[in-house]
Amino acid sequence: MPKQFPFSFIRKKIVKSDQATVPIQCKAVQYGLGCFTGIRGHWNKTHKNLYLFRLKDHYQRLKEAAKILGMKFNYSSPKFEELIFKLIKKNGAKEDVYLRPTLYAASTMLTPRFDNPDDDLAVYMISLKDYFDTTKGLDVCVSSWRRFDDDMMSTKAKITGAYASSALAKTEALQNGYAEAIFLNRDGKVCEASGANIFGIKNNIVYTPPLHANNLNGITRRSAIELFENEIGLEVREEEFDRSTLYAFDELFLTGTAAKVAYIRSVDRKIIGTGNMGKYTGKLKSLLDRISIGEMPRYAKWLTSVY
C-alpha cells in the first residue's frame, strides 16, 4: 500500500483525508460521473525541491475533459496551481508524490446526467515511486476486451466511470498471470494499455498509435515523442499497427504518469527483442528521469517547483 498523505482537498477546503468522503447517493459513486488526472512530483534532495511534471498540461487536459462532459470546473490555471501547492505544503511532502485531482459529480439526484449544479474538485495525494517494477520488464497480453470508440465514450477525457473498461482488461490480465493488458480497438488495431500509452521501435523508427486510434492523449506520450525527435534523433510515426506487428518489434514499452517508461519483455508469452530493456527505451527512460528531477535545464519548461 502506498503511503497516503494526511490531508486532502474537497469542497473547497483542505481537510483530514479520512474526512474527504462523499455521500453514497452521489452521481460520482452511482454512475462514475467525473473526470480526473494523475500528476507526479519528483523530489530532488540536492535541490531540496519538489518538481511537478507538466502541471499546466494536466490542468488543460482536465479542463478540456470537463468541457467534453459538460461539467462545471471553476478553476483558473493559477487557482488550480495554488491549491495544489497548498495541499503539498500542508502535507509537508519531501519525497516522490502522485496527486489525483478529480472533478466529480457531487449531485445526489437520481438521473445520470452531467449538467448538475454541484460539481466539485477533490484532490488526494500518495507517495509513489515505481508503479510497475521497471527493472525487469513486463509480461503483457493482448486483452480479449476491446477499447471503446470515441463515439461510445470519450477517449480524450479521463472519465472516472470509463475506467471500468480498464479494470476489466487489467483484471483478466492479472488473473491470467500477466502484468498488464494491451487493448485493440474496434478496428482490431493496437490502441493502448489499461492505464498507459504504447510505443514500439523497429529498425530505428518509433511507432505509436495515433490519437484517433481511441487512446488517451497522454502527457508522457507527448513528452516521449518530443524527446525521440529532438534529443534521441529517431523518426516517430503516429500510425496504426496490427496485433502481429506488436510481436515483431525490436523494442516495446508503455508510457504514463504512473507507469513512467516501462519496457515490455513479452506479449502473449512471445519475447520482444532480446527480452531486455532496449537501447532506445533506456535512453528515453533516463532522459525523462533526469528531466523530472530538474537535471536538464532545457526542459525546465516542463516543471513547476513547489518550494
Ligand X SMILES: Cc1ncc(COP(=O)(O)O)c(C=O)c1O
Q: Which residues are near ligand X by CB under 6 A? A: 38, 166, 192, 195-197, 215-216, 218-221, 255-257
**What is the C-alpha to C-alpha distance for residues 92 and 89, in angstroms, rounded to an integer?**
5
Q: How far is the CB of 201 from ligand X (least distance, A)?
A: 18
Q: How far is the CB of 98 from ligand X (least distance, A)?
A: 10
CB-wise, 116 or 220, nearer to ligand X?
Answer: 220
Q: How far is the CB of 231 from ligand X (least distance, A)?
A: 18
Beta strands, E only, the chain: 7-10, 13-16, 34-36, 39-44, 49-53, 97-105, 119-127, 138-142, 180-184, 190-193, 197-202, 205-208, 235-238, 251-256, 260-267, 270-271, 303-305
CB-wise, 41 or 195, nearer to ligand X?
Answer: 195
Angstrom distances, CA of residue 130 to CA of 5, 28, 42, 245: 17, 28, 12, 28
Q: Which amino acid is at 188?
A: G
Q: How far is the CB of 61 from ligand X (least distance, A)?
A: 7
Closest residue to ligand X using C-beta atoms: 218
CB-wise, 90 or 222, nearer to ligand X?
Answer: 222
CB-wise, 197 or 281, nearer to ligand X?
Answer: 197
CB-wise, 189 or 221, nearer to ligand X?
Answer: 221
Q: How far is the CB of 99 from ligand X (least distance, A)?
A: 12
Report the sign of the C-alpha dihedral through residues 171, 195, 63, 291, in that order. Answer: positive
